[in-house]
Structure formats: structure tokens, C-alpha cells
A and B are shown apart, each in its own frame.
Chain A
Amino acid sequence: MNIHAISSIYRFEMNRMWRTMGQSIVSPVISTSLYFIVFGAAIGRQMGEIDGISYGAFLVPGLVMLSLLTQSVSNAAFGIYFPKFTGTIYEILSAPVSALEIVIGYVGAAATKSLILGVIIMLTATLFVDLKIAHPFWMLFFLVLTATTFSLLGFIIGIWADGFDQLQIVPLLIITPLTFLGGSFYSIKMLPEFWQTVTLANPVLYLVSGFRWSFYEISDVSPGISIAMILVFLSLCAGIVYWIFKTGYRIKS
């Protein structure tokens, strides 16, 4: 294992984040606060409680998931796309590093960033609502595995992408709608039965539901299924990344 290489890539990527520190932290803090003010305080007062939880508190896991998913994907996609774009990837390709080491470096850094972000959002949330976490272990479990899985997905997108617009397309056209429609801001029990069934096909539902369960022990699907699903997504993404390196797809001619 080329530990020095992993730590070089990881530190390089983290430095990139510290450079854009303001942007990486201020914007989620502001947008989270806006959500709380608009949905939690203004609309939430009309909504009452969901499963015995105030709407403001109900929102927190959904908001964290929303940021976690979009940030993981875009961080990781950008991280690997950029060297491809500038040509500096020659260095990675000619270095004595294995595919696994490259992935640990890039995906690890992207996941770390979104984890830091998730924590910041939760801290911001405590300003507005009482946050209690029923199952801290499972909370971390969902947090870490979701960040990792979607960073892997971002890595795949970054390798696939041919231009900057394509980097944006997947988060914008797929991740954000799926998150909004996956019960981040409501319980799917509030939907008509038909749409409840449709929502079951949305992978994000399982993540949000499991994550919310780790806070309040309420969920749309059973936590066991959520855990199984996140493991399935993780293996799926890992499998695709493995295939990419195996075939050299879009990184080597």
C-alpha cells in the first residue's frame, strides 16, 4: 500500500477545500438557516407534528441528507474531473499507485468534506430546534456510508463527464429531485397511496428514512431495509468503480 500517495491525494483535495472554506461552509449554513426559517418556523407552525415530532426537528435529517448527497456527488465529481480537464492526471496515471489507493484518496477526501458539512448543518440546526439522537452509532453509520457511497457516485460521474455542464447535470437533474421526492421534508404517509408506492422506488427514501430513524425512531420503511439498501448502493458504486479501473474506461487510452 502506497500510504504516502493516499495521504498526498487526500491532503491535496482537502487543501482545495480549505482554500474555498468560506464558500464550502457559509453557503450550507445560510441555506440550512433559510430552510429552518421558512419551513420550520413559518410553514411548520401550520403543519403541527409528524409522528409526534415537531416539523422543525423532523426536517433536520432530511436537510442533512440533502446536503450530504449533493455535496458528496459534486465534490468527488469535481475532484477527479478537474485533473482530467487540466491534464494533470498524467501524474496520477504515471505514479506507482493502485486504483484502490486513488479511490481512497479522492473519495475519502470528498466524503470527509461532506461529513464536515453534515456536522455543521446539524450544529446550525441546534440553534433552531432541540436535536436528540436516539441511536448515535446508526446515525454515524448512515452518515459515513451515505457520504462514501455518493462520493463514489460522484467519482464515477467525474470520470464519465466530458464537460463541466455534465458535472452539474446529475446532481441537478437526479439527486436533488430524488431527495425532494424521497421524503426529506415530509413523511410519505402524507401522500396518496399511489404515490407512496411510487416513492418506494426512490433510493433516497431509504437513506432519509433510516437516517431519521436514528434520530427519532420514526421511519417510513423499516430501518433494517434502509441498512440493507445503503449497503447495496455502496457495493453497486464500488463495483462500477472497480470496472472503470479494470477496463481503463475514459481514463486511459
Chain B
Amino acid sequence: MNNNADILIDIKNITKKYDNGFTALDDVSLQIKKGEIIALLGPNGAGKTTLISTICGIITPTSGSISVGGFDTLKDYRDTRKMIGLVPQELTTDAFETVFDTVSFTRGLFGKPRDNSIIEKILKDLSLWDKKDNKLRELSGGMKRRVLIAKALSHEPDILFLDEPTAGVDVELRKDMWNVMRALSKTGVTIILTTHYIEEAEEMADRIGVISKGRILLVEQTSELMRKLGHKEMIVEISEPLDTLPASLQAFDLTLSDDRKFITYSYNANQEHPGITRLLKALIDADIRTTDISTKQSSLEDIFVNLVRDAA
């Protein structure tokens, strides 16, 4: 389906069993394309951080292999890690370093020569320039988060991992961060972010991977997943059983139940005109009397449940 040259990160059958025997990743395979923004969506403890940490070299996988840009993350770790910037989930910073120094430190750590103008640009882009001489302990949580992003960008990586970048960030800053990510993406940086929020995934990502209990349940284009999520059903109970649907209702996506007392209308709640009024009007025009109406939405959980059931 994909052109192999497009694949930047190739995760093959990764399993991670922690020392205490807990399996946090169970045979995970995923291919990430150059230049895309992919969101890993999943509940607490799904294995998102474990997966990211494994790609970045912080955790050694129990089995399986990962290649980044054609290099193996274990054998050719220098080549793969140089390409990657990581913004961790936890706000871990030194207390007494200054903003400028800590960003500069990371650049050196990743093997790049000192370059104050690049650091200056990154800090300005993240609205941190006026804080450059502040000690990290003097910053607010949102500022620290941006410092971590600045550190991750300091060595001009091709790939950026953001582990819950907008946790604990206010609405305005969240939008700022989305803009920063979009701007980076335009320059060709591949972005992998994790999130608990479907809205964030929808806003940012080209593709969404749903992960739960250490397994990737699905990876879909965002638009496709949203279409599935937006899928709704309206169930109309009618007073007189119908043998067939009248011709005037054929235009709607309807099904008649086996006992012929329920009409089910499938529609997408995300679209502007879901056609409910038109349907109700058509029902009245056809002289079909309704006794009850209910609607049902397939939630993310429904998709989870279906996927798990399909997998079993």
C-alpha cells in the first residue's frame, strides 16, 4: 500500500516485558511515513510512552526491531538518535540551569557544534526569548513544557516525538503549540504525538493510531476514523408494521427491522445537514406514524470493543 521509500520509522513486532513481568507492548508493528503527523491515541497505561521510549532508546525492547531512516535503533543508535527529538511526558528539568544553557546543552549532547543563532531562533519561535536567562525553577509549567520542546528541537531533528504535549496546558497555549507543530510539519519534520483526547488527535494528525493494553488496535487516516466515530443511528419505532419502505423513503439510508416495527436511519453526525428533518418530514408525508425515536452513537469505546472482538 505504501511506497517503501516513504517509510521513515518501521516498527516490527515490538514486545516489551518489564522486569516485573508486565507486558506493556505486545507485538506492536507500525510504519510511520516521512513528513506525516501521527497521533497515538489511548487510555492511561496503554503503552504509548513505552512505545516512544523504545524508539528513542530509553527502553530496550524484549523482542522485535525498529528502524529509523533505514538504521537499526540498537545497532546504529548514533544515526537513529541524531534524527530524533523527544519531548517527554513528565516535566523533568534541572532547577538551576538557565533556559539558554539547558537548550544549548541538549544541542551539544546530540553532537552538534554550539550555535547561538539557532538557539535564539528556537527560543523566539516558542516565545521563550525573554526568559532565556531565567533559571528553570523560575518558570511556570507551561513555560517548562516549551523549554522541553526547545531542547528537543535544539539539534534540528527530522523526527519529533511529543508525549502528551498539551497535558496541563491552557487553551491558548494549546493552540500556540498546535501552530508550532504545524509550522514544523511544513518544514518536513515528522511528528509523532500521544494524547488522550480524540479532539487533539483530530485537530493535528494526518493519521491516528489507537493503542490499548499494549496493542495497536487500528491505524487510520484521521478523516476515515472521524467518519467512523461520527457514525450515528436513529431508530424510529412505528405504530403500524411496514412490509416495505415506501418509495419516497428510498433516498435515505434506511433499514427495516425483521419484525418490521423499527426503521433505522444511519447518518454521520459530523456533517452539517444530517438529514433528520427531511427524514421526519418524509415520514409524515408518507403517513407513517412514529411512537418513539432514539439515537445511538458509536463511541471510541464501541470501536475499541469491535476491534478487540474482531481481533479475538
A residues within 8 Å of B by Cβ?
2, 4-5, 7-9, 11-12, 15-16, 19, 86-88, 90-98, 248, 252-253
B92–A87 touching, CB < 8 Å = yes
Give the secondary structure class of B's interface: loop
B108 contacts A93, C-beta separation under 8 Å: no
Quick one: which of A5, A87, A252, A253 contacts B109, CB cutoff 8 A? A5
* Contact A2:B78 (CB < 8 A) given known A97-B109, A252-B60: yes
Report whether B109 and A8 are in contact in the complex, using a CB–CB cutoff of 8 Å.
Answer: yes
Which B17-49 residues have a C-beta within 8 angstroms of A? Answer: 18-19
B101 proximal to A (CB < 8 A): yes
Chain B: number of interface residues, binned into ranges:
35 or more
The residue in chain B whose Cβ has the minimal distance to the Cβ of A88 is B92
List B contacts of A95 (CB < 8 A): 81, 106, 109-111
Q: Which residues of B contact A253 (CB under 8 A)?
A: 18-19, 59-60
Asked whether, in the complex, the Cβ of A15 is within 8 Å of the Cβ of B58, the reply is no
Given known contacts A86-B94, A96-B81, A253-B19, is B109 in contact with A9 (CB within 8 Å)?
yes
For B94, list chain A residues within 8 Å (CB). 86, 88
Evaluate contact between B60 and A4: CB separation under 8 angstroms.
no
Q: Check A91/B106 contact, CB under 8 A, given A2-B78, A86-B92, A253-B19.
A: yes
Residues of B whose CB lies within 8 Å of any CB of A are 18-19, 53, 56-60, 77-79, 81-82, 84, 86, 88, 90, 92-97, 101, 105-114, 151
Structural contact, B108 and A5, CB atoms closer than 8 A = yes
> Which A-B residue pairs are the 5 nearest by beta carbons?
A8-B108, A87-B92, A96-B81, A96-B78, A94-B56
> Are B108 and A88 in touch, CB under 8 angstroms?
no
Give complex CA distance A131, B113 in Å.
Answer: 44
Q: Which of A4, A92, A97, A248 has the most CB of B within 10 A?
A: A4
Q: Which of chain B's residues has its CB closest to A95's CB?
A: B109
List A contacts of B19 (CB < 8 A).
Answer: 253
Judge whether A15 and B92 touch: CB under 8 Å. Answer: no
Q: How far is the CA of A156 from the CA of B92 in the complex (A)?
A: 23
Contact yes or no, A88 B93, CB < 8 A: yes
Q: Report Cα–Cα, A96/B94, bound state, in Å.
A: 20
Which residues of the other chain, B, contact A2 by a CB distance below 8 angstroms?
A: 78, 111
Q: Measured between alpha carbons, how far is A94 from B77 in the docked complex, in Å?
A: 9
Chain A residues within an 8 Å CB radius of B56: 93-94
Contact B151 A94 (CB under 8 A): no
**In the complex, A16→B95 CA distance in Å?**
11
- Please give the distance in Å from A175's CB to the nearest CB on chain B: 27
Cβ-closest chain A residue relative to B16: A253
Write out the residue numbers on chain A whose beta carbons fall within 8 Å of the beta carbon of B60.
Answer: 248, 252-253
Which of A2, A8, A9, A87 has the most C-beta atoms of chain B within 10 angstroms of its own C-beta?
A8
Q: Is the CB of A94 within 8 A of B84?
A: yes
Check A7/B77 contact, CB under 8 A, given A86-B92, A88-B92, A253-B59: no
A85 CB, min distance to chain B CBs, angstroms: 10
User: What is the bound-complex CA distance between A115 and B162, given in angstroms?
Assistant: 41
Give the complex CA separation of A92 and B88 in angstroms. 13
- Is the pair A4, B111 in contact by a Cβ cutoff of 8 Å? yes
Complex: how many Å from CA A98 to CA B78?
8
The answer for the CA separation of A253 and B23 in the assembled complex, in Å, is 12
Beyond the given A86-B94, A96-B82, A252-B59, please list 10 additional residue pairs across the A-B interface where CB-CB is below 8 A: A4-B107, A4-B108, A5-B110, A9-B109, A11-B105, A16-B96, A88-B94, A91-B109, A94-B57, A253-B18
A93-B58, A253-B18 as given contacts; A4 in contact with B90, CB under 8 Å: no
Choose from A4, A11, A19 the contact partner of B96 (Cβ within 8 Å): A19
CB distance from B72 to the nearest CB of A (A): 14
B58 contacts across to A, CB distance below 8 A: 90, 93-94, 252
With most chain B CB atoms within 10 A of its CB, the pick from A15, A16, A86, A95 is A95
Which chain B positions have C-beta within 8 A of A7? 108
Residue in A closest to B80 when the chains form the complex, CB atoms: A96
Q: Considering the chains assembled together, what is the distance between the CA atoms of A129 and B79 in angstroms?
A: 56
Residue in A8, A93, A97, A252 whose CB lies within 8 Å of B105 = A8
Contact status of A90 and B92, CB under 8 A, knowing A96-B77, A96-B78, A252-B60: yes
